[in-house]
Chain A
Amino acid sequence: DAGVTQSPTHLIKTRGQQVTLRCSPKSGHDTVSWYQQALGQGPQFIFQYYEEEERQRGNFPDRFSGHQFPNYSSELNVNALLLGDSALYLCASSETSGSYYEQYFGPGTRLTVT
Chain B
Amino acid sequence: AQRVTQPEKLLSVFKGAPVELKCNYSYSGSPELFWYVQYSRQRLQLLLRHISRESIKGFTADLNKGETSFHLKKPFAQEEDSAMYYCALTSETSGSRLTFGEGTQLTVNP
Contacts and interface: CB of A to CB of B under 8 A. Distances in A.
Nearest to A106: B43
25 contacts: A31-B96, A33-B96, A33-B97, A33-B98, A35-B98, A40-B102, A41-B102, A42-B86, A42-B88, A42-B100, A42-B103, A43-B86, A43-B98, A44-B100, A48-B96, A48-B97, A56-B94, A58-B97, A100-B49, A101-B95, A103-B96, A103-B98, A104-B45, A106-B43, A108-B43
B99 interface: yes
B32 A105 contact: no
B61 to A, nearest CB: 16
Contacts of B51: 100
Interface residues of B, number: 22
Contacts of B43: 3-4, 105-108
A68 interface: no
Interface in A91-114: 92, 94, 100-108
B44 interface: yes
Chain A interface residue bracket vs B:
20 to 34
A83 B27 CA distance: 32
A9 B12 CA distance: 31
Nearest to A105: B44
Interface in A1-58: 3-4, 31, 33, 35, 40-45, 48, 55-56, 58
Given A33-B96, A43-B86, A102 B101 contact: no
A4 B97 CA distance: 17
A102 B9 CA distance: 25
Contacts of A44: 100
A87 interface: no
Given A100-B32, A100-B49, A100-B51, A43 B44 contact: yes
B49 A45 contact: no
Given A100-B49, A100-B51, A107-B43, A45 B102 contact: no
Contacts of A92: 98
A90 interface: yes
